[in-house]
Structure 1
C-alpha cells in the first residue's frame, strides 16, 4: 500500500458510490473503513503514513470518526517474532478446535518468519481464522499475545479473496533480490521471477475473486521480453480489460524518470473474444501531454492512438507479445509466414571475457599479422596469423560496413579459450565456432536508431553483440537483408520487442513470406556494392586505395 495514495483515492470513489445508493456520508465513512479498504506493507513508516492519511480522509467526511476508535484494516507484515512451537502450545487461549488452532498458529509463525523480506507475497490456505479469532477474543494476556493477534489479522488478509486489488508494486530485478526473496520467487513464482513487479502481477491475480479485477502500474518489459513469456501465456488466458501504455516520463513532476511503464486492469476470468481498449501514449513526450491525451479518450474524442483488439491476436505472434497496435494483415503474416529460423540459422558468437585485452582496431596491429580472408577455422590456423576481423555490431549502418575490429584468434583462439579469472574460472565463451569466418547477415544488438542489417563477407568471427545469421545459399542471405532493411522489417522487430536490444530470440520469430523468384536480390546486391564502395572511400578502412578528392 505504500503511504496510502491509492487507498485515499479509493476512499473518494467509494464515498460517491455509497451516497449514490442513498447512504449518509458519515455512515458511509464507517462502513468503508470497516469493510472496503485493506492494505499491507513491509515498511512501518509507510504503514504509519497510510494509516494517518486514511483517517484524515475519513475525517473530511465525518467529524466524529476519530471518536469511534475504528481499527483500520491496514498493517505492516509481521516478521520474525521469536515464537517457537513450544511457545504456541503454552498459550493460555481456549479455541473451539484447540488442535486445529495450534496447527494453524504454527503455520502462521513459520510463514511469517521472513515476513519483512516476503511481505504480501506470502500465501495462506485452509487456515480457520474464525476459530483463531474466537480464542484470541478472550481476556487472556500472554507474552506473545500482540504478536499472535497481528499474525492472525494479517494472515486473514492474505488468505481472503478481494473484489479489486490495486498496487504500484516494487520494481526489483532478480540480481537485486536477497537470497531469501530470490529462493522464494524461484520456487513459487517461476514464470515471473525476473522482476518483482511481475511476481506481484501473479500474486494479485491470486488475491482476487474470479469475477474481480486487479490493476497495477509496472514496467512494460513483461509485455515483450522473452524472460516474461510464460507470464504472458498466463495473462493471455485472462482478460486485459484496458491499458494505458505510458512509456517514459509519465510522472515527470516527481523526477523525470525514463522507466517505460504501463498501467492496466485485468480480470482473472477469460472472457472469450473480449475487445480490450489500449491507449498508446509512448510517443507523447511528457506527463502533461499524456494526461491530455488520456482525457481525450475518456471524453470519446477521435483519436488515432486508441486501439481495440482481442487477446487471441497476441497468441498468433511467437512469444505472445502484447502488441495491441498490430494490424490484422500483419498478424496474418505471422500466421502464414515461416519463422526466420526456418529460413536462416541465427547464432550468437564469441564472448572473449575481456574485449579490451583481446580486441584491437585493425590499424593498431601489424598489417602482416592479420588474416583478412580466412574461410574456415583450419584456414585460419594454417595461416599462422594472430589477428582476424571481428564483427562487433557497431553503429547504425545498412547493407555493408563496420569492419573496424580484429581479434586475437592465434592458434585457434588458444589464449581466449584458456582465459580464466583469479579463481581459475573460465571467463571466455567461444560459442558456435563452426560458424566462424562464414558470410552472414548481421545486425547490432543495440538498435536505438532502428534496425540496420548488413552483409558480412566471409573472413570474420562474430561477437555476442554482432548478431549474425547464416545460410549456405547466398541468395537467401541477400533476400533476408533486403526484407529486413525495409520499414516493415523494422516495424516487425518492434512488435516482437520494442526495447533497444534486438536479441537473437526476437530475430528467430520474424515471419518470412518467401518469394521463390527472389526478385529483390539484384537490388540488394546493388545496394551492398554501392555501400561497400562508400565504406572503402574512408581512409580508416583496410581496402582504402585513394581519396576521391585526388
Structure 2
C-alpha cells in the first residue's frame, strides 16, 4: 500500500519530462548501415545540433537503435543517412507513392538523451546516449534536462524502477508509455549522480575496448603486452578462453 500511495503523490515521468519513440525510416535497408560498412570519411560524429550537421556536408550520422541488454552506455552500432537534414529520407516515396518515413523528433535529435531498447528479455536497461545521435523507433528515449540526466538514468536502472515496470508492464516490451507512467524521483543531496557518472564512464570505456565501437583502438591485453613475458601472456589467453567456455550456456558450449 505504501508503494501505491507514494506513486499517487509523485508526478509521472511523462509529466515532468518527455518520452519519445524514435523515427521510422520507411526503408531500413536503404537508409541504415552498421557504422563500419560505409566510409567513415562521410560519417559525422559529435554534432550537437541539426544546423551544424547540415552544413558539415556529412551523409551519415550515429543512430541509436536499441539493441541487447546493456546499462549506462553502449549499443552504438548504426549510422543513418541524414544528409542535408534528412532531405532525401523525408521526401522519399515508396513504390505506392507515399512518404513512409515519419516521427523524426526534429527538436530532440543530436542532443544527449537517455535511451532504452523497446524489446528486452525481461530486464529493463537504460543508457546515456551522447550528443550527435538520431533515434530509431526501437530505441525510445527520454528528454531530460542535463542537470537531472544522471540521477534519472540511475533511477531507471534501479531495482525500484524494475519493480514498478513489472507492475506497469509485465511484458518484454518497453515503449515510451511504460516509462512515461513511472513516478519521478528527485535528487535531494542523495549523491546518486556521483555514483551514476562512474558507472557511465566505466561502461563507456568497456564499450570502447571492443571492435564494435568506432572509438576502438586496440585490445587491453595487446596494449600492455610489452609488460608481460610470453608465459604470462599464454596463461592470460588460456584463462580467458576457459572463462568464456564455462560461462557460456550449454547449447553454446556444445556448438563450440
TM-score range, shorter chain: 0.7 to 0.9
Residue matched to 2:201: 529
- In 2, Cα distance between equivalents of 1:333 and 1:445: 27
Displacement, 1:344? 2.1
Question: What SS does the corresponding residue of 1:512 show, helix, strand or coil?
Answer: coil
Q: Does 1:338 align with 2:16?
A: no
Question: Alignment partner for residue 448 of structure 1, among 116, 121, 146?
Answer: 121
SS at match of 2:199: helix
Tell me, in whole angstroms, the C-alpha distance in 1 between the residues paired with 2:11 and 2:188: 13
Distance 1:345 1:367 in 2: 33
Structure showing greater radius of gyration is 1
After superposition, the Cα gap between the structure-2 partners of 1:445 and 1:533, relative to the gap in structure 1 and judged at 3 Å, is same
How many residues in Structure 1 have an aligned counterpart in Structure 2?
Answer: 222
**Aligned match of 2:97 in 418, 424, 435?**
424
| C-alpha deviation, 1:490, in angstroms | 1.2
Matched, 1:406 2:108: no
Which structure carries more strand by proportion?
1
SS at match of 1:447: coil
- Matches of 2:185 and 2:48, distance apart in 1: 31
Alignment RMSD (CA, Å): 1.2
CA displacement, residues 272-321 of structure 1 (integer Å, 9 cap, x when unaligned): xxxxxxxxxxxxxxxxxxxxxxxxxxxxxxxxxxxxxxxxxxxxxxxxxx
Partner of 1:356: 29
2-side partners of 1:543 and 1:431: how far apart? 27
1:491, distance to aligned residue in structure 2 (A): 1.4
Show CA shifts across 1:135-190 (max 9, x none).
xxxxxxxxxxxxxxxxxxxxxxxxxxxxxxxxxxxxxxxxxxxxxxxxxxxxxxxx
Map of 1:8-407 to 2, 5 A cutoff?
Answer: 328-407=1-80
Q: Is the 8 A contact 2:21 2:141 kept in 1?
A: yes
Cα 1:518–1:431 shift into 2, 3 Å? farther
In structure 2, relative to structure 1, the CA distance for the partners of 1:335 and 1:513 (3 Å cut) is same
The question of 1:475 aligning with 2:139 is answered no
Aligned residues of 1:360 and 1:407 also touching (Cα < 8 A): yes
**Which consecutive unaligned segments of at least 5 residues does structure 2 have?**
223-256
CA distance in 1, matches of 2:84, 2:220: 39
Question: Partner of 2:140: helix, strand, or coil?
Answer: strand
TM-score by length of 2: 0.84
- Return the alpha-carbon distance in structure 2 between the equivalents of residues 482 and 376 of structure 1: 26
* Mapped partners of 1:354, 1:372: distance in 2: 23
CA 1:430/1:505 → structure 2, altered by over 3 Å: closer, same or farther? closer
- Tell me which stretches of 4 or more aligned residues in structure 1 moved more than 3 Å: none
TM-score, normalised relative to structure 1: 0.40
Q: CA deviation at 1:518?
A: 4.9
1:389–1:405 CA contact under 8 A, matched in 2: yes
Deviation at 1:489, TM superposition (A): 0.8
Q: Which residue of 2 aligns with 1:503?
A: 175
2-side partners of 1:539 and 1:513: how far apart?
A: 37
The answer to whether the 8 A contact 1:475-1:521 is kept is no
Query: What runs of 5+ residues in structure 1 fail to find an aligned partner?
Result: 1-327
Per-residue deviation, 1:436: 0.5
Larger RCO: 1 or 2 (CA < 8 Å, sep 6+): 2
In the alignment, the residues of structure 1 paired with residue 59 and residue 125 of structure 2 have an alpha-carbon distance, to the nearest angstrom, of 30
Counterparts of 1:475 and 1:527, CA distance in 2:
17
**Does structure 2 retain, via aligned residues, the 8 Å contact 1:417–1:430?**
no
**Residue deviations 1:498-521 (CA, integer Å, cap 9, x gap):** 111111111111001323335200
Cα drift, residue 349 of structure 1: 2.0
Cα-to-partner distance string for 1:313-348 (whole Å, 9 max, x where unaligned): xxxxxxxxxxxxxxx121122111121123322112
CA contact under 8 A between 1:479 and 1:518: conserved in structure 2?
A: no
From 116, 125, 134, the counterpart of 1:461: 134
